[in-house]
Amino acid sequence: MVQCAALKCTVKSGQGLSMYLFPKEPHLRKIWTVKLKRDNFVPSDYTKLCERHFEKSQFVMNPEVVASVGFRPKSKMLVNGAIPTLFDLSDPKDKHGKRSLTQTQTSKPSRKFSVIEKRRRLEVN
């Protein structure tokens, strides 16, 4: 059972979400590590991130398009050089802290999550 390496993320393998190994390419691996914003974190060859940390544009197939045609692939492929950008970096000690995902692009992660939830329900039924 592999848990997602992202802070505050409790996703594990086997929960129906895709998990991605850290890239072997050193430059990309460094970018992923920096994006995690975990102190002194060094990914191993088995460290994984779950699909929740990737924008729709980072997947080979747009998840919304895939869902809209009723196609449910077992795992989603990331594009070459995909970079995770969606992380919950809110500080629990900050009284103004909102549990919102930081993002560098204009897509709406909440909508993406609802698509994932819908897909998971479909798989359960």
Question: Contact residues for Zn ion (CB under 5 A)?
Answer: 4, 6, 9, 11, 50, 52
Q: What is the closest distance, in whole angstroms, from the C-beta atom of residue 124 to Zn ion in the complex? A: 20
What's the chain look like in SS3? CCEECCCCCCCECCCCCCEEECCCCHHHHHHHHHHHCCCCCCCCCCCEEEHHHCCHHHECCCHHHHHHCCCCCCCCCECCCCCCCCECCCCCCCCCCCCCCECCCCCCHHHHHHHHHHHHHHHHC
Q: What is the closest distance, in whole angstroms, from the C-beta atom of residue 13 to Zn ion in the complex? A: 11
Q: Which is nearer to Zn ion, 10 or 72 (CB)?
A: 10
Q: Which is nearer to Zn ion, 44 or 125 (CB)?
A: 44
Q: Which is nearer to Zn ion, 2 or 27 (CB)?
A: 2
Q: What is the closest distance, in whole angstroms, from the C-beta atom of residue 53 to Zn ion in the complex? A: 5
